[in-house]
Structures are given as structure tokens and as C-alpha cells.
Structure 1
């Protein structure tokens, strides 16, 4: 993960203290996305695993990094952003993204349907074909994501497991922004109505330049009414 190693931390309290100290050091640089992560060894399926806990905003560590980490092994990464929650799940195997999703019925990756039976087993409301099942009860997606990670690693993440760990701390540097060519909005509402829009980088750049030019243009105030006459210097009747 290309981290700098600032030391160790005892339990989640030590990890949180180190992360908060890092943000204090960064001051008002709110755009910086570096963060402190803690790692430690824990027994799981087929041997020991490295469990990593980090406060990265909840969107998971950068894909190129995870692809490298999973070479010759497996990386399973459930994450959440808190607040109005976005719960994401990523499963990498030998450098390949096998399955990822926010909504379990909209899966992506090289094998998006391989985990359908496990998704159903941990409570996600899916049919046997992997479609959303309106008749099934809803589920706590954060809890279900952790349960799915349990199935794939043999590690049950509990409060005591995280709180009692002796973490090796690492300062994860800000990742370079990925190049992009377009932005797509694809939303289907509760009535089945779909909104699909795609904007290319060129269109967005042109709109940004136009907005910037308009914002920097001089402000001209005009009026169709004649100017008021100032009579303060004239005497009565003049």
C-alpha cells in the first residue's frame, strides 16, 4: 500500500488516535485523502490472513493497490462511508476483480454471479437468478457485507477482535486520480422509469470553461428609467 510506518497502535483506540493526530498535522488541507490504516495477522481459512482497518472515507482502498495485494491470494474488502451510508463490497482473486457491488442485484466484475448463493445465504434479498427479490425482507447491508466476508475468509469480524488487536500502523498516501473520459448517470426509480445520461469529458470541460468565463465577466447594470434629479442645491421655486 506504499505506506509510511509511524509505529504501532493498541486496539481501535490507538488506531483512531493516530489517524486523528495525522489530520491535525494536515491542518486545513481538507482535499488530502491520505489516512492511517492498521494491519495485523489473524487466523482464517487456509492459514493466516492480514486484516486491515482504515478510515479512508469508506470507499475502499485503491483498485490498482488491491490488484497487486491479491496476486497469488485473495482480498475481500467490505466498506462503508457512514452518514448516509454507501456500503461497498469488493472481492479480488489473484489480481483480478471477481465481484463488486453496492446494490447486490447490480454486480460487476469478471464473475459477478459466482457469489449469488452466498449473497442469499447471508440475507441479501435476491432470487436464485441473482435478481432483486421484492418479496424478501430487507437486510442490514453493512452486517450482510461483513457476513459475506466471513464466508470468503473464515474470519468473523467482531468488536473484540478489532478492539484487542495490536496494529501495525501505516500512513497510506493519497492515491493519484484515475483518468476518466465520461460520466454516466443511470437511475431507475421505484416505478421502473429509467434516467440515463452520459456526458463526455470534452462536454464537461466546455461547460466548465463557459461557466468560468461567465463568472469572470464584468457586471453591467442597466436601467430604462431616467436618472433622478438632485434638487438639493436649488432654492424654493427654482
Structure 2
């Protein structure tokens, strides 16, 4: 079982971080167990455009789209918890309606996101098509089991009180929370070296 905390994801704030562009432009990151990259893109209604090597190339393609499309890159990732797919959508802070329910049917899916303006950041945990826990500000949680992750939320360094949350690196903490639920470590090396299946999602 992973023991990830926010400290393990402090690298996302670095000036050389491969995730810095996503933080600045807005993104959604999802991890799902047992669903292939091609199947994930199909469920999102995205149009495949080919393959690319690493997040730098994914960012280049996003810039070339001039904001007409949301670019999604999906790849298979290893985990002790089984076969997982990671998808990163650049320039968007929410999936199409019904996507997460369909994606998580019979499995687990975890997603977090941020917009590119005044930070609006969301975390979602779905199990078997059901929203189990969702929050923006962790003190206010909804879903069928809104309190089930409370101990993990505290362990990763996020906290449940306004004072704790305001002191935390909330973005690094939700990366760690996603790892606790999936077993997948989203390392800088993973983002820069993996091959992505790329697709466009119209706005």
C-alpha cells in the first residue's frame, strides 16, 4: 500500500516541472483501472489524432490547436493495484456529462482538475459508476460516502479544517490522495517519457 503525501508531489510547483503548463492552462487528470486508453478516449467522445512521445510533445500539439479543441493524452501506467490508464486533458476543467459514470462502470476512477483562472480545483472518486466522494474545499464533501476518505485526506497533508487546508499545498495533496486510491505514482519521469494516445475533444 502506498504511503504518498503532499511532500512527494512538491515537484509539480518547480519552475522546471513538466506539469507546470497544465497548472497554468487548466487540466483534468484521471486514473482508471482496467480501461484501455483507446476505450477511455472513445467514452469521452474524443477524436483520435495519433501518438506522441512525452508531455512536451503533447503541450506542443495543444498550442497548435489554438484553443479550438481540448487535447487529451492517454497512456497505460503500471501499478501494484492492476492495469491503469492515465488521461490528461489540457485546457479543460471538467469531462463531458456522464463520462465519469460510464468510465467507472465496474471499476474505480479518480480524477482531479483545475481551471486556468482564479483556481477552482476539484477531486472526484467514482466506484462502479457511482460518485463516492467529491470536493473542492475538502471540508465540504459530497457523494454517496463523503466521509470515507477523511483519514486519507488528513494523512496526505490536506486536512479537514479551514486552518489545515489553508496551510496545505492542496494540489500536491490531491495528487497524493489519488495515488493512495490507485497505487499509481504520477512522477515527472512518467509524464515526460510515456507514449500518449492523443485525441481532440471539441469544446
> TM class, shorter-chain normalised?
0.7 to 0.9
The equivalent of 1:6 in structure 2 is 49
Aligned equivalents of 1:88, 1:63: Cα separation in 2: 15
Structure 1 residue 169 corresponds to structure 2 residue 198:
yes
The equivalent of 1:116 in structure 2 is 150
| CA shift for structure 1 position 133 | 5.6
Structure 1 residue 105 corresponds to structure 2 residue 139:
yes
Change (3 A) 1:137 1:21: closer
Aligned equivalents of 1:81, 1:135: Cα separation in 2: 23
Q: 19, 32, 39: which one pairs with 2:74?
A: 39
| CA shift for structure 1 position 171 | 0.9
Q: 171, 175, 179: which one pairs with 1:150?
A: 179
1:183-229 CA-partner distances (Å, limit 9, x unpaired): xxxxxxxxxxxxxxxxxxxxxxxxxxxxxxxxxxxxxxxxxxxxxxx
Bigger relative contact order, structure 1 or 2, given CA contacts below 8 A and separation 6+?
A: 2
The equivalent of 1:52 in structure 2 is 87
Aligned equivalents of 1:117, 1:50: Cα separation in 2: 26
Question: Which protein shows a greater Rg?
Answer: 1
Specify which structure has the higher proportion of helix.
2
Aligned equivalents of 1:145, 1:5: Cα separation in 2: 29
Unaligned stretches of 5+ in structure 2?
Answer: 1-43
Aligned equivalents of 1:39, 1:125: Cα separation in 2: 31
Name the count of aligned residue pairs: 160
Change (3 A) 1:137 1:55: closer
Unaligned stretches of 5+ in structure 1?
Answer: 27-33, 127-131, 175-238
1:49-94 CA-partner distances (Å, limit 9, x unpaired): 000011133x232340111010011110011224432221011111
Aligned equivalents of 1:165, 1:117: Cα separation in 2: 32
